Amino acid sequence: MTADLAGRAKELREQIRYHDHRYYVLDQPLVSDAEYDRLLRELEKIEAEHPELTTPDSPTQRVAGEAVDRLKTPPGWLPLRWRKVEHRVPMLSLGKAMSEDEFRDFDLRVRKSLGLDKVVYVCEPKLDGISISLRYENGALVRGATRGDGAFGEDLTSNVRTIRTIPLGLSVKAGEKAPALLEARGEVILAKKDFADLNRRQEEAGEDPFVNPRNAAAGSLRQLDPRITASRPLSTYIYEVGECSLKFKTHSEKIAALQGFGLRTPPSLRAEGADAVKAVYQDMLEKRHAQPFEQDGMVIKVDDLDQRERLGQVSRSPRWAIAWKFPAEEEETVVENIDVQVGRTGKVTPVARLKPVLVGGANVSNATLHNEDELKRKDVKIGDHVFIRRAGDVIPEVVAVIKEKRTGAEKDFVFPGQCPVCGAAVVRNAGEANHRCTGISCPAQLAGHLALFSARTAMDIQGLGDKLIIALLEAGLVKDVSDVYALNLEKLLQLPRMGEKSAQNLLAQIEKSKKTSLRRFVFALGIRHVGEATAKALAQAFPDVKSMYEAPSEKFQSIRDVGPEVATAIHQFFQQPQNRAVIDRILASGVTPEPEKPPEAGGAFSGKTVVLTGGMSSLSRDDAKAEIERRGGKVSGSVSKKTDLVVAGEDAGSKLAKAKELGVKVVDEAEFLRMIGK
Ligand code: IVH
């Protein structure tokens, strides 16, 4: 029986690996998501029941383990985050060619050293990411490390394992064996589209967006918690091997082998002689904006590996390869003015208003100066001649000031102390690079705040969606979130395309939202860094919102999971008279946030893990969750052997099935209501 199961588990692992490869590497999925989930669930079930059948390369094991603790270091030392690993074959860097002449010089040196008239090269995009080394032993991924200084890198295995383009096990043809050792080397990147998605998510969560895909990839890879890395859409291209038990004759052969093992490789084009290389370069340059990834040049490598051996290296760069950079998309223009822009999350960014100029085919009239430190570092003044750069789809930025062109008439920019949009204080907290507007009713932030305020997990005002929010703001009917409770039929009917029926429905929803819980209310305030979990912790620590007004920062910091940065943000929020006034108005309009009841000691669900599935007619999922938590229980999203109880409402699906399979106790809605005494 176990032998059969072991066979089935192996088969499932192979199938899932195959579909992962089709989906993530080749971008050609063969099966539906549901079909894929079915395979994964079957494998999870076998492994849950027979842990001995779980293998480290199983697709169920991508996020294994918890966050790594900082390694313990003696007092006064800097914390060492990651274990150091040695690259026995050093990871080299590349020499650069900034022009065709410099590339021709390279070709000449290569031909001379080899005594050849023409050399066969391979041309690859120069990807702008983080270089990485992946060590496979007998086909299994055992280590993922950064380049570091080339001789020693950092062991990021647990994070690297979460990247879906990286197979945990190499694919090998039937009857063949995986190589004893293969160290695959390449680049971790964020594709342009994934970068845009990630930044959208960051902004929605009230976090700062990343400046460019490279920074975002680096930051995502170096997370202490692999679950965060797993949530970032990182991907890879593999273009070299380091230590390896296989022998190849050419780079092209090596790339084909890497591809065969299921690794994603970049386009690698053979070109005979310098003229052919130039043609490939021109083609790549023309198509750079159409590529899914950022590319800042083309890497040219000698194809024949014996020839590489003969050429050797100088200092840390091989003589057999060069990076021919693309011309930077930079142009000169004049800074006509500098002002600040207030983002949806309250971030205040200095922006240079430019004399319009064409950069890489696009007309540019604004460039970001990022923050005060960047502005000072670059020493940009109003009236300066500057170079601006447009890198891919990223916002144009000021690269440098042309100081020789200064006349003395240039003016310094002074960071405003007040928000230009709402007049609230603009602050820069210690340790932070950005200034922020602290006003709760700032119109720039208001649209975003209203969306959060009305969200299902906050005040739950159905019908108050994005379109209506914009209409309300444009009509001037809402100047801060408290105005939602001052809306009436007459006001709503002023809005374009608003009928009486919809207006009545909306008013009913607004009325309903007045009965709420303290945690929802605190979350709805949109305090920076305060998500649902922190809002809940605050609601448990204070009897009501007014008692948060005068609490010192330390009081917030004493709450579990609230660090100094978050405590400061909360404290500052309640210090603003403007914010208190808004809260007071909301409360005065009849909103009654019910205090959080402490969990009942020995409550009906004390110490139990409960899973909710399907719909219930008498209470919402969120309310059911609150009832369980109030009685000392924990609500989890998925059924496992550790689940104590499944509450199955109408149309319960796979979770109910799984509970039955695992023999977990299941109750229906009526039984659940009895358990909570309703
Ligand atoms: S080959 C000795 N190929 O550029 C050759 N590198 O400055 C080692 N890079 O650290 C690298 N795209 O992170 C190679 N197609 C490509 C590349 C590439 C980007 C990066 C790599 C390396 C840096 C060298």
Query: Tens digit of pLDDT for each residue in 546-561?
Result: 999 999 999 998 887 7
Phi, psi of 478 (to 5 degrees): -130, 120
> pLDDT (tens digit, 9 = 90+) per residue, 607-644?
888 999 888 888 888 788 888 887 888 888 888 888 89
- 151 C-alpha to center of ligand 1: Å? 15
Choose which residue among 131, 147, 241, 326 to substitute to test ligand 1 binding: the one with the highest number of ligand atoms within 8 A of its C-beta: 131
- CB distance 320 to ligand 1 below 6 Å: no
- 318 C-alpha to center of ligand 1: Å? 11
Q: Residue 268's closest CA among 234, 235, 298?
A: 298
Binning pLDDT at 50, 70 and 90, where does residue 339 land? very high
> Does residue 127 sit in helix, strand or coil?
strand
More confident: 481 or 205 = 481
- 97 C-alpha to center of ligand 1: Å? 14
% of the chain surpassing 90 pLDDT: 54
Atom of ligand 1 nearest to the CA of 318: 2
Q: What per-residue confidence (pLDDT) applies to 104? A: 97
Residues 126, 254, 655, 658: which is the catalytic one? 126
- Tell whether the model's pLDDT for residue 59 goes beyond 70: yes
Q: What per-residue confidence (pLDDT) applies to 415? A: 92
- 167 C-alpha to center of ligand 1: Å? 21
Own/partner pairs, 344-347, CB within 8 angstroms, 24+ separation: 344/203, 344/444, 344/445, 344/447, 344/448, 345/203, 345/206, 345/207, 345/208, 345/445, 345/448, 345/528, 346/436, 346/437, 346/438, 346/442, 346/444, 346/445, 346/528, 347/208, 347/434, 347/435, 347/436
- Contact partners, residue 72, CB within 8 Å, separation at least 6: none
Q: Residue 482's closest CA among 426, 518, 525?
A: 525
Atom of ligand 1 nearest to the CA of 128: 19
| 518 in Cβ contact with 530 (< 8 Å) | no
Atom of ligand 1 nearest to the CA of 96: 7
Give the 3-state secondary structure of 619-658: CCHHHHHHHHHHCCCEEECCCCCCCCEEEECECCCHHHHH
> pLDDT (tens digit, 9 = 90+) per residue, 640-659?
888 899 998 887 778 888 88
Q: What per-residue confidence (pLDDT) applies to 255? A: 97
Atom of ligand 1 nearest to the CA of 240: 1
> pLDDT (tens digit, 9 = 90+) per residue, 233-243?
999 999 999 99
Mean pLDDT of the chain: 88
Atom of ligand 1 nearest to the CA of 125: 15
- Tell whether the model's pLDDT for residue 537 goes beyond 60: yes
> pLDDT (tens digit, 9 = 90+) per residue, 165-179?
999 999 998 889 999
Nearest CA to ligand 1 atom 2: 92
Phi, psi of 661 (to 5 degrees): -60, -45
Choose which residue among 96, 188, 299, 309 to substitute to test ligand 1 binding: the one with the highest number of ligand atoms within 8 A of its C-beta: 299
- CB distance 299 to ligand 1 below 6 Å: yes
- CB distance 238 to ligand 1 below 6 Å: no
Binning pLDDT at 50, 70 and 90, where does residue 391 land? low
Phi, psi of 340 (to 5 degrees): -120, 155
| 322 in Cβ contact with 313 (< 8 Å) | no
More confident: 393 or 57 = 57
Helices (H), 241-398: 251-260, 273-287, 305-311, 372-378
- CB distance 266 to ligand 1 below 6 Å: yes
Query: Which is it for strands 317-318 and 95-97: parallel, antiparallel or unpaired?
Result: unpaired
- 299 C-alpha to center of ligand 1: Å? 7
Q: What per-residue confidence (pLDDT) applies to 13? A: 92
State how far the Cα of 391 lies from the Cα of 329, in Å rounded to an integer: 7
- 305 C-alpha to center of ligand 1: Å? 17
Nearest CA to ligand 1 atom 23: 93
As given in the structure block, the two tokens for residue 262 are: 């299921």
Q: What's this model's pTM, rounded to 2 decimal places?
A: 0.59
Binning pLDDT at 50, 70 and 90, where does residue 68 land? very low
State how far the Cα of 534 lies from the Cα of 548, in Å rounded to an integer: 14
Looking at the chain, how many residues does it have? 678
Q: What per-residue confidence (pLDDT) applies to 482? A: 96
Nearest CA to ligand 1 atom 18: 126
Q: Please report, for residues 32, 216, 399, 640, the alpha-carbon distance to residue 194 in angstroms, rounded to integers and kept in the order given.
A: 21, 10, 25, 32
More confident: 23 or 427 = 427
End-to-end CA distance of the chain: 47
More confident: 277 or 619 = 277
For residue 501, indicate whether it is catalytic.
no
Helices (H), 161-239: 192-204, 213-221, 226-230
